[in-house]
Amino acid sequence: MINIKNIKKRFGKLEVLKGVTFSLEEPGVVAVLGPNGSGKTTILKTLLGMVIPDDGEIYLNDQLVLGLWNYRHQIGYLPQIARFPDNLSVRELIAMIKDLRATHADVDGLVEEFRLEPYLDKKLNTLSGGTKQKVNIVLTFMFDCPVLVLDEPTAGLDPVSLIKLKALIEREKAEGKMIIITTHIMSLVEELADEIVFLLEGKVHFKGQPKALYEQTDRQVLEHAIAKLIEGHD
């Protein structure tokens, strides 16, 4: 479904991606992990067309997507930090995003699930961080996209909302979708991930099922397995 070949990216003197290559063929939850500065957010932004790589190719369903834009309708994106005009109400923001994508959106069920009805007519600048994140979740999941990219999706969520988000991800997975997650919450990865891609200093150092990572590192706890990968690189 997604094929990333030899992606390189430099910002000034900083080489962020050093020939990243991996393929994601099966629906399910893929956790893209790595320490800060490893390149995980940059590689996702190249997939989304938000960062133009210096070299390499990206394919979605066998279509070369670099330089195109219409393929993005197949991707739902939850950014780590979403910035929208503060003077918009939640209702206005949802309507704006629906108009931009011009496709069917399932809003009411998500609004009810995350208990956002009392906030629909409130301005975005009056909302707490956790409530803004729930609004962002609605904006991401309200379209029927085969690929979802979630960058630190749990930020600011209370325990009840976190449980609802995990259930929502499981439902999308059951519908045959690919969900790509970046997170520092290892318990979320242990609970949801079918596959792990681990980046370090702009290169892929592991790709496979969590079980394979445990076997490779001789560790049975994900945090310890990741630490072993980093130690092995050092």
Tens-place pLDDT, residues 163-196:
999 999 999 999 999 999 999 899 999 999 999 9
Average pLDDT, integer, range 26-53 = 93
Asked if 157 contacts 130 with a C-beta cutoff of 8 angstroms, the reply is yes
Pairing status of strand 2-11 against strand 28-33? unpaired
For 25, residues 6+ apart whose C-beta sits below 8 A from its C-beta are 1
pLDDT confidence of residue 115: 95
pLDDT confidence of residue 161: 94
Q: In what order do the strands lie in the sheet with 2-11?
A: 14-24, 2-11, 55-60, 63-64
Q: Is the pLDDT of residue 65 over 70?
A: yes
Q: Which two tokens stand for residue 107?
A: 């809003």
- CA dist 90 and 113 (Å) reads 15
Q: For the chain, what is the mean pLDDT?
A: 92
- CA dist 172 and 224 (Å) reads 29
pLDDT confidence of residue 131: 93
pLDDT confidence of residue 233: 66
Paired strand residues for 5: 57
- CA dist 17 and 48 (Å) reads 15
- Element of type H or E holding 20: strand 14-24
| Local confidence band at 37 (pLDDT 50, 70, 90 cut-offs) | confident
- Element of type H or E holding 11: strand 2-11
Tens-place pLDDT, residues 95-132:
999 888 877 788 999 999 999 999 999 999 999 999 99
Average pLDDT, integer, range 190-212 = 95
| Local confidence band at 36 (pLDDT 50, 70, 90 cut-offs) | confident
| Local confidence band at 206 (pLDDT 50, 70, 90 cut-offs) | very high
Domains of the chain: 2-233 (3.40.50.300)
Q: What residue has token string 């630490």?
A: 227
Q: Is the pLDDT of residue 44 over 70?
A: yes
Kindly state the DSSP code that residue 146 receives in the 8-state scheme. Answer: S
Q: Is the pLDDT of residue 234 over 60?
A: no
Length of the chain: 234
pLDDT confidence of residue 20: 96
Give the residue with greater pLDDT, 105 vs 203. 203
pLDDT confidence of residue 86: 87
